Structure 1
Amino acid sequence: MATPNEKLAASLSMLKGLRDQGITVFQASAHPELTRVHRERLVKANFLKAIIPGWYLPNNPTDGDGDSTHWYANMEAFVAAYATARFGRDWEVNPDLSLLRHSGYTSVGKQIVIHALKANNQLLQLPHGCSVFLYQVKRGTLAMRRTTSPTGLVLISVAEALVRVGPVFFERQPLAAQIVLRQVDLTDLIAALLAGGHSVISGRMSGALRAVGRAGDADQLIATLKAAGYVVTEVNPFEKPLAHIAGRLDESPYVQRIKAMWASMRELVVDRFANIPRGAPTDVDALIRDISARYVADAYHSLSIEGYRVSAALIEKIRAGDWSPLTNPEDRQTQEAMAAKGYEETHKRVRALIARVVENSENAVDALRKDFFQWYVTLFSPSVAAGILKPEDLAGYRNSQVFIRHALHVPLSPEAVRQCMPTLFELLAAEEHPGVRAVLGHFIFVFIHPYMDGNGRLSRFLMNALLTTGGYLWTIVTVQSRKQYLEALEQASTYGNIVPFADLICGLVEAQAAQPLERITQRPESGDWTAPPTAKGAP
């Protein structure tokens, strides 16, 4: 007779077979091989969670009940699978969400509206406060042209969604509206307007096109509609002037979004730096001594933010060269030691770059552009030396999707990462204010999330390289501010609100500049800097 462990192993084998087919959510009736016995066994062992009756999601058994990360990563896949199972091809998401996705907005929408012919105006409650509303539409009202998102959602084409969306969209989502208006094909837009006889909406579209810099296209739209017998009164639907987006109209929406965020956020950051004094970094030796003196505290706080359990003794051991994964099995197996060793080696590299920039009056961004990729390699080389990572893991930008624990913001796709990283360095090079370069450089880097791991540490190295070469002191983001730090990044990423993040970073710059170095680098009263165990998932 099989033991309980053998029975669970058999159920896990069945689940693995389904996962190997690329299935991420399961409708029980569609997979008879996943029998009731298998399902009950997997649910009890926390390898499977019920979403709604009859639908299940594979689960990491170590995740707590309040951990939303896995659900957020799979919510849209569930909605798409559920809608397809129930409505076949006769469904699509509402025009608002269609335009958000077309504009490069990646954050999770906790409430999704589905338009379907056979819907019943039902609100379906989902885990973690999410929901989907099934809105019934009349035959003939589904979009003529549609696309499918990477998660399976059926999106209305840009032109048809612009015609269908209400004027409030331009007030609440001006950035998304600006991006899709820059990329919409004028012929498709005019065809959608003529097909529906939309004279009022034509006035809104002509005003919107003119507002985003397409004056010639706005004139052509008006002329065409008037030739077809419509009266068009132009109206600008945007409440406020739009942020300037440089570059081609047909650039990647992700690139356009990053450029627009930078343009709209920079003045807020400039204002926050207005009363923070800065000097001219000319004494290279003094600057490097100051940065080196902060190293142990900086390493402790930065690694602790990431969830590593590190102590001052471990950091000092590594700095003294007593870490040897080839001869000491304990060092070879200790993840904390590898993380701290990588941090120490990268810190050296960053210090060397800062010294070169200041001593030779180099352009900081040009120097960063040449050296930055090696920071990632240096950060994770100890893991390769210890045999935990393969050498090819150091190749470069990630090739798969990642998600941030407890965050609605979803980092960019691997393809978009490769489009946006050059844009980040272009924005850094064009920016004159060193404080803006540091704060927005940090934020945009985390927003893109180019690597599978290490993004938080690298973003803080980037920030401090730009602060110190710009005349400010090396500033430690403390583990005590971790919650505020992550929440501020989420506000900026998902809601476009940079103020909390700018306030936090500038507040730390001010506070640490006003304190004696001994105060910043001293250990807590406990005598040890061992961080409390926390789940990883910092940016």
Structure 2
Amino acid sequence: MADSKERLASSLLELKKYQEQNNTGVVRGSSTLGRTHLQRLVENGWLEPVMKGWYIPSSPEDVGTTSVWYANYWNFIVEYCNSRYGDDWSLTAEESLTIHSGNMVVPTQIVIRSTKATNNVVELKYGHSLLEISTSPASEVAFDPIYGIRLYGIAEALMFSSPNYFKSDPVNARANLASLENSAQIIRLASVNGNSSRVGRIIGALKNIGRDNIADEVLKFMQRLGYDIRVEDPFDNIVKVSASQSPYVSRIRLLWEKMRGQILSMNLNLSRIDLKDKDSVLRSMETNYVKDAYHSLSIEGYRVTESLIERVRSGAWNPDAEDTDRRNALAARGYYQAFMRLQKSMATCLEGDKFDLESELNEWHYELFDPCVQAGIISPADLIGYRTMQVYIKGSKHTPLPVNAVNSSIGALCEMIEEEKDGFIKAVLGHFFFVYIHPYMDGNGRTARFLMNMLLCSSGYSWIVVPVERRNEYMQSL
């Protein structure tokens, strides 16, 4: 007779088969797995109920936390809506623009348009809800590339967004306007729908961000069709935005400018160090190494001591120790190697030599995990370039950018760092947006703190150690 472990293994195997056959982890009803398997998986923490008859994949250590819900939120929304409305649904125009711009933060309430809706609120987990509105969805559906969310296309979403949207969410609105390829996308919709006020608003919005050529083409064409167009700028202020095929890049650039102003308004009076004494700057880095390594690794969940860090630095470490100690030792050794590489990067920067920031970021990241390569735990190929899979941040409503947006976004971030004149701003925002993009499968936090401190020290500010005791506050601020 099978014991409890074997029975659980059998249920997990059934769940695995279901996920592979249906390309989703969301489970609907007991008939999909069978009542016995379903109950066993829920009782052991491998499935978590969302609402009656609906479950999402979990793990025993995450039971009762928001992490599982945030990681599965969009998958659940798509599966639930496809099951209930079929092909007759989409998000609203405004929410579509939010997704198109790369803002995948889990909303408190999601609004669904469908002719099959009944104008009700569906309560979900942790205070979230779904509001279904009985109305027509997008006429030409665009699909989110990660989850398959049914959206308005960018041009249609801009056309049918409420006038207030441009004031309430100007960053996302401008990011999407900047991603329009040409005037044809707007003209095609405008000529069919023929709403003069909507067209005038889009023309005014395009002029606001500096895309006068597209705006003028739309205006001339609509006037040719006999429409009386009154141009209206829907924004509160003028912000020029460079045209970009990637709304993700546009959004990051717009957020940089917005946050830059917020930092400047704080009027911080920060002490500076003398950059002429380059050796002193490098010695200061060396002095901070043990303390920095301890706190940075502890923030990431490693159990390290200052003694272990010193042994690793001196070479008196044992990579073949017990599993737990080995993991900590490999992480500490990787941190040391990356720190040494960072010192070389800093020396190059202080000398004023040519410096390729994106290349250096990849070098620091490689060194973090080189001991794992040497130990045969991972392949060198795993560390080449940026991630090739979607990642999630435990406990965060933010979903990092999709794989196809990482390269262009990191490139743009490095350009912004180079263009920024204020050293403190480039350090703070460089750290923030690096984590926002999350370009690697692992090691993003450590690399981001290396980036922050290199930018601080190379601009005449002191090295900052983020204490593990303030981890929650630090994570919340990100």
Give the TM-score normalised by the residue count of structure 1: 0.84
Letter in 1 for 2:134: Q
CA distance in structure 2 between the aligned counterparts of 1:241 and 1:370, rounded to whole angstroms = 35
- 1:431-452 CA-to-partner distances (Å, cap 9, x unmatched) read 2222122111111111111111
Aligned residue in 1 for 2:91: 93
- Match of 2:217, SS state, is helix
1:33, 1:235 → 2: CA distance? Answer: 54
Query: Which secondary structure does the structure 1 equivalent of 2:61 belong to?
Result: coil
Describe the shift of the 1:397–1:370 C-alpha distance in structure 2 as closer, same or farther (beyond 3 A). closer
Distance 1:23 1:81, change over 3 A: same
Equivalent-residue separation in structure 2 for 1:389 and 1:40 (angstroms): 36
Gapped runs of 5+ residues in structure 2? Answer: none
* Equivalent position of 1:159 in the other structure: 155
Aligned residues: 475
Query: In the alignment, which residue of structure 1 is the partner of 2:228?
Result: 231
CA offsets 1:473-506 (integer angstroms, 9 cap, x no match): 11111122222211111xxxxxxxxxxxxxxxxx
Which residue of structure 2 aligns with residue 362 of structure 1?
Answer: 353
Distance 1:356 1:232, change over 3 A: closer
For residues 209-228 of structure 1, the aligned pairs below 5 Å read 209-228=206-225
Counterpart check, 1:402 vs 2:402: no
Is this contact kept in 2: 1:439–1:463, CA < 8 A? yes
Confirm whether residue 168 of structure 1 aligns to residue 138 of structure 2.
Answer: no
Instruction: Give the alignment's Cα RMSD to 1 decimal.
Output: 2.0
Instruction: Tell me if the contact between 1:80 and 1:151 (Cα under 8 Å) persists in the aligned partners.
Output: yes
CA contact (8 A) 1:270 1:435 kept: no
Which residue does 2:371 correspond to in 1?
382
Alpha-carbon distance, 1:333 to partner: 5.2
Q: Tell me: CA distance 1:33–1:265, structure 2 relative to 1, closer, same or farther (3 Å).
A: closer
Distance in 1 separating the partners of 2:426 and 2:137 = 45
- Partner residue of 2:269? 275
Q: Separation in 1 of the partners of 2:349 and 2:217? A: 51
> Of the two structures, which has the highest relative contact order with CA contacts closer than 8 Å and spacing of 6 or more?
1
Measure, in 2, the Cα distance between the counterparts of 1:338 and 1:84: 45
The offset of 1:385, in angstroms, is 2.3
| Residue type at the aligned position of 2:279 | D
Q: Is the 8 A contact 2:175 2:248 kept in 1?
A: no
Counterpart check, 1:193 vs 2:193: no
The residue that corresponds to 1:345 in the other structure is 337
Alpha carbons of structure 1 residues 167 and 8: separation in structure 2 relative to 1, 3 Å: same
Identity over aligned pairs, percent: 39
Offset from partner CA, 1:33-59 (integer Å, 9 cap, x none)? 511111111111111112121211111
Give the one of 173, 178, 201 matched to 1:177: 173
Shift in alpha-carbon separation, 1:165–1:295, aligned structure 2, 3 A: same
Residue type at the aligned position of 1:116: S
Report the TM-score, using the length of structure 2 for normalisation: 0.94
Shift of 1:155: 0.5
The Cα of 1:373 is off from its aligned counterpart by 1.4
Deviations 1:172-198 (CA, angstroms, capped at 9, x unpaired): 110111122223342232332333331
CA displacement, residues 63-94 of structure 1 (integer Å, 9 cap, x when unaligned)? 130x2122112211111111111111111111
* CA gap 1:180/1:319 in 2 versus in 1, 3 angstroms: same
Q: Secondary structure at the match of 1:62?
A: helix
Q: SS where residue 205 of structure 2 aligns?
A: helix
CA distance in 1, matches of 2:86, 2:359: 51
Runs in 1 of length 4+ with deviation above 6 angstroms? none
What does residue 48 of structure 1 align with? 47
CA deviation string 1:285-313 (max 9, x = no partner): 22222221111111111111112222112
- Which residue does the alignment assign to 1:64? 63
Q: Which residue of 2 aligns with 1:9?
A: 9
Q: Would you say 1:145 and 2:157 are equivalent positions?
A: no
Residue 274 of structure 1: CA displacement? Answer: 4.9
Which whole-Å deviations, capped at 9, do the CAs of 1:203-222 have from their partners, x for residues lacking one? 21221121121223323333
* C-alpha distance in structure 2 between counterparts of 1:113 and 1:310, whole Å: 46
What letter matches 1:27 in structure 2?
R
Task: For structure 1, list consecutive stretches of 5 or more residues without a partner in the other structure.
Answer: 490-539
